[in-house]
Amino acid sequence: GIGVPFAFVGHEFQGHRRLAFERGHAAQVAQGGHGVEQAARLADELNARRENSACVARADLSVPAGIESLAAAFRERFGRLDILVNNASRFYPTRVGETLAWQWDDLVNSNLRGPYFLVQALLPELQTAGGAIINIVDIHAERPMANHGVYSISKAGLAMMTKVMAAELEKAFRPDVVR
C-alpha cells in the first residue's frame, strides 16, 4: 500500500480534475522513502504534456488536519474535482490476540477513516462537478487474510462505506469500488 503520510498527484486532463492514484502508475510513485520525489517527477512529466495540470502535496490521512490540508491544497490548485480515487492504505500483519491498540488505530484510520473524511471534505467539489468516487479495496475485504485481521476489517469497512455513499449520494454522483 501507499501508506500514510502519502503524496498525491492532482492532474487535469481534458477539463477533468482528478485527485488520484492510478493503479500501476501514480500509485507506485509514493511507495518507499522517496515517494514525494517520484510524485514530483510524475507531476513534472504531466505538466510537460499540459501546463499547470498537475501538482504534488503530502498529507497524513490518519488525522483530521492532514485531510483538511490535502483538501485545501487541492482546492487552491484546481478548485474543481471530477474524480476522487481513494487508494492510499497501510498493510501489515495484526494477529488476533496480539494486536496493539495503535495498530488498530493506524490501519483503520488510514484505510477507512481517512477516505471517509476525505470524501466529506471534498464533497462540495464532487457534487458541483457531478464527480465520481472510486475506493480501492482488494479480495481481503471479503476473504480475510491470515494474520492481517485489522487490514481485512478496514477494507471490508471501506467496501461498505462505498455502498452507503452510493445509497445516500446516488442523485449527485455514484461512488464505486474497485477490487
Write down how long the chain is: 179
Between the alpha carbon of residue 19 and those of residues 12, 55, 133, 159, the distances in Å are 9, 10, 10, 20
Query: Parallel, antiparallel, or unpaired for β 54-59 and 6-13?
Result: antiparallel
Q: Which of 74, 116, 151, 173 is catalytic?
A: 151
Q: Could you give the 3-state DSSP secondary structure of residue 70? A: helix
Q: Could you give the 3-state DSSP secondary structure of residue 28? A: helix
d(CA 83, CA 126): 7
Q: Could you give the 3-state DSSP secondary structure of residue 128? A: helix
Q: Is 151 a catalytic residue?
A: yes
Q: Which residues are catalytic?
A: 151
